[in-house]
Amino acid sequence: MSELNRYGLTAEQRAELDQILETLTYATDVATDRAMPCVAGRVIRNQRERLSIAGANGIFSATVSGRLRHRIASPLDAPAVGDWVICRRQTALDGGASSRGEADEIDDAQVEAIAPRHSLFVRRSAGRTGEPQVIAANVDRVLIVTAVGNELNPRRIERYVTAAWASGAEPLIVLNKCDRTEGVAPLIAELRSAAPGVPLVATSALSEAGPVELEAWLDAGSTVAFVGSSGVGKSTLVNRLLKEAALRTHAVREGDDKGRHTTTHRELFVCPSGLIVIDTPGMREFGLYDAGDALELTFPDVVALIAGCRFRNCRHRGEPDCAVDEAVRRGVLPRERVQSYLRLVAESADGDERSRDAANREKHRQWKSVTKGMRKRQRLHEKLGLKH
């Protein structure tokens, strides 16, 4: 198996990379008029301006080319961890290096193009601009990690799950640190009601069985991204899957349950099982960016009730014959869940509006509409009895 396959290259992505390569391979360096060889690879690490890329002949470092930089209209257009890219090497093949047999060593390269993504996990950055921030690209499953203790919050899970559906990947909730409690059942029930239909694995990264329970959900060759607050045990779980302590973990501060933000950058690893994992730094706030119809998947219960309100423009704040208010009164729907839904609808629309560049939005939609996740979403839609 080629090195790129090990990093999760699919036939579809390979064809796309080949297509891009065709247009770039024979490009020449203007200054020297020599052909500059191009190579394909996957972004495995992104630290400031420097990218680490896994190519067919090993890992090399790269920056974004001037040409690509010029075309980056929004953070969504920049290469992210998980992206498949085409890089141009800085040294020509007919240069001195190759005659000394060093042609395969790439000191520095420039990313020239990004292959179309089949999923893109994005949040809205906390700042005033509300710009999108790409967490990871080409992810099959988003592992939303939460932990027994103060961090656990169904409202936060609703945010992450919605962003996961919107990304085109499938969400999986991981309730970690179950060794801390005897009574895990009510916590599971609470999480399940916050995300109907989303699979949940209750585990402990510290137990023998923990990683095995998780692995059962994760297919070799697929890419999964661990996301969630700091200190919930993302890196500990990743380390267990890697079967070695490749990442640093740090004790959570005694008492307040707040993580220490141990992981400082996003990074992709290949596990011995063949699974590809992306570890990400804990996120203090998780803003929702352009969730589209993904909210209907996280809140099928609320959406179904809304259909029964008397007024079509009902705001569910005390209007007559409001089915949502009625359900809250009867105690079948928590008021906080309704508020969460309304807040996220506003936040998501806000994010959409702020990305003013229409062409950019169009691109955003393109990858969304072609995803495998979309088809799976549709099936879930049907299972949950929702209309399209």
Ligand X SMILES: Nc1nc2c(ncn2[C@@H]2O[C@H](COP(=O)(O)OP(=O)(O)OP(=O)(O)O)[C@@H](O)[C@H]2O)c(=O)[nH]1
**Cα atoms in the 13 Å half-sphere on the side-chain side of 294:** 30
Number of residues that bind ligand X (CB under 6 A): 25
Among 13, 46, 263, 298, binds ligand X (CB under 6 A): 263
Distance CA 78, CA 83 (A): 10
Residue 234 vs 316, nearer CB to Zn ion? 316
Q: What's the residue count for the chain?
A: 388
Residues in 155-194 at the binding interface with ligand X, rule: CB under 6 A: 176-177, 179-180
**Should residue 206 be labelled a site residue for ligand X when binding is judged by CB under 6 A?**
yes
Select from Zn ion, ligand X, Mg ion, none the partner in contact with residue 309, using the beta carbon and a kind-dependent cut-off of 5 to 8 Å: Zn ion
Identify what 176 binds: Zn ion, Mg ion, ligand X, none; CB under 5 to 8 Å per kind.
Answer: ligand X
Asked if 45 is part of the footprint of ligand X (rule: CB under 6 A), the reply reads no
Q: How far is CA 211 from the centre of its chain?
A: 20
Tokens of 202: 């209750």
Q: Which residue has 């692995």 as its token pair?
A: 215
* C-alpha angle 238-239-242 in degrees, rounded to nearest 5: 90
By CB under 5 A, tell whether 314 contacts Zn ion.
yes
Residue 205 binds ligand X, judged by CB under 6 A: yes
Is 231 or 300 the residue whose CB approaches ligand X more closely?
231
Query: Could you give the string, one character per residue 268-307, with x where binding to ligand X holds by CB under 6 A and - elsewhere?
Result: -------------xx-------------------------
By C-beta, is 281 or 300 nearer to ligand X? 281
Q: Is 146 in the site for ligand X (CB under 6 A)?
A: no
- CA–CA separation, 302 and 322 (whole Å): 12
Cα separation of 203 and 207, whole Å? Answer: 8
Asked if 230 is part of the footprint of ligand X (rule: CB under 6 A), the reply reads yes
End-to-end Cα spacing for the chain: 41
Q: Which is nearer to ligand X, 76 or 227 (CB)?
A: 227
* Residue appearing with tokens 């047999």: 101
Phi and psi, residue 42, nearest 5°: -115, 135
Q: Which of 169, 303, 309, 338 binds Zn ion (CB under 5 A)?
A: 309
